[in-house]
Amino acid sequence: MKICVIGAGVLGLSIAHELSADGHDVTVVEREHPFAGASHRSFAWINANSKFPSSYHRINAEGIEAHLALQERLSTGRRWMHRSGCLLVDHSEERPATYARRIEEAEAEGYPVRRVDADELRRLEPAAVWPGDVDGALLYSSEGYLDNDIFGEVLQAELARRGVEIEIAEAVRIDSDESGAVLHLADGSSRSFDRVVVAAGAASGALAEASGFRIPVADLSQATVRTHSLLGLTRPTDVDLRHVLISDRFNVRPRHDGRLWVQVPEVEPRVAEGESPELLAEVAEVMAGELERLFGRPVEMEKVIFSGRSFPEDGHSIIGFVDEGEKVYCAVTHSGMTLAALFGALTAQELRGEESALLADFRPSRFDGGVARADDSYFIGKQ
Inform me whether the pLDDT recorded for 383 exceeds 80. no
Average pLDDT over residues 230-245: 98
* CATH number belonging to domain 83-144+222-308: 3.30.9.10
* Spatial distance between the Cα atoms of 222 and 226, rounded to a whole number of angstroms: 10
| Domain covering 2-75+148-219+312-369 assigned CATH 3.50.50.60 in the classification | yes
DSSP-assigned states of every residue in 307-358:
EE---BTTSS-EEEE-STTS-EEEEE-S-HHHHHHHHHHHHHHHHTT---GG
User: Rounded to whole angstroms, how far apart are CA atoms 4 and 330?
Assistant: 12
Q: Mean of the per-residue pLDDT values for the chain? A: 95
Q: What is the largest CA-CA distance in the chain?
A: 67
Which pLDDT value is given to residue 36?
A: 80
| Whether residue 53 has a cis bond before it, omega within 30° of 0 | yes
Domain boundaries, the chain: 2-75+148-219+312-369, 83-144+222-308
Query: Each residue of 358-375: pLDDT tens digit?
Result: 999 999 999 987 777 776
Each residue's pLDDT tens digit, 37-62: 777 779 999 999 999 999 999 999 99
Residue type, 355: E
What length does the chain have?
A: 383
- What percentage of the chain carries pLDDT values higher than 70? 98
Mean pLDDT for the stretch of residues 304-317: 92
CA 336, 82, 203: angle at the middle one, nearest 5?
A: 15
- The long-range contacts involving 367-372, CB below 8 angstroms and separated by at least 24 positions, are 367/214, 367/216, 371/216, 371/313, 371/314, 372/313, 372/314
| 342 band by pLDDT with thresholds 50, 70 and 90 | very high
Band (pLDDT 50/70/90 cuts) for residue 378 is low
Predicted pLDDT of residue 375: 65
